[in-house]
């Protein structure tokens, strides 16, 4: 299996895991909410970096959400070093919500 295909499979697995992580205040998963910016797999070191944001820098559930992301990814990648890197550039806004998320929220 080539590296691109292997990375695509891992990315699909990771995203499937993250669809089960919810922002408890909004009730929408972090993928549809548009909080996940990038997922990078470093095969040699078995490191997974998840770059994400929160709805605000002062999100009271930020620590809980990032811990849930780590726990969720660890289920499918138990031997990997999972890192969540929070960024606020670009800042999150409602345009980042997926069409499915918009529908769920009634927009």
Other CB atoms within a 10 A radius of the CB of residue 73 amount to 22
Whole-number pLDDT of residue 3: 46
| Domain span holding position 67 | 3-104
pLDDT digits (tens, 9 = 90+) for 21-50: 999 999 999 999 999 999 999 999 999 999
Whole-number pLDDT of residue 107: 79
Whole-number pLDDT of residue 1: 39
Helix, strand, or coil here: 45?
Answer: coil
Total domains in the fold of the chain? 1
Q: What is the helix (H) or strand (E) element at residue 99, kind and residue range?
A: helix 99-104
Whole-number pLDDT of residue 4: 53
- Which of the residues in the chain have pLDDT under 50? 1-3
CATH of the domain at 12: 3.30.300.130
User: 42: which DSSP letter?
Assistant: E
């Amino acid at each position: 299996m080539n590296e691109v295909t292997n990375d695509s499979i891992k990315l699909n697995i990771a995203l499937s895991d993250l669809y089960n992580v919810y922002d408890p205040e909004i009730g929408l998963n972090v993928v549809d909410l548009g909080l996940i910016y990038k997922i990078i797999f470093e095969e040699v070191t078995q490191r997974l970096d998840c770059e994400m944001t929160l709805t605000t820098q002062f999100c009271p559930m930020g620590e809980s959400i990032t811990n849930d992301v780590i726990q969720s990814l660890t289920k499918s990648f138990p031997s990997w070093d999972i890192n969540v890197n929070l960024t606020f550039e670009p800042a999150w806004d409602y345009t980042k919500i997926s069409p499915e998320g918009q529908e769920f929220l009634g927009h």
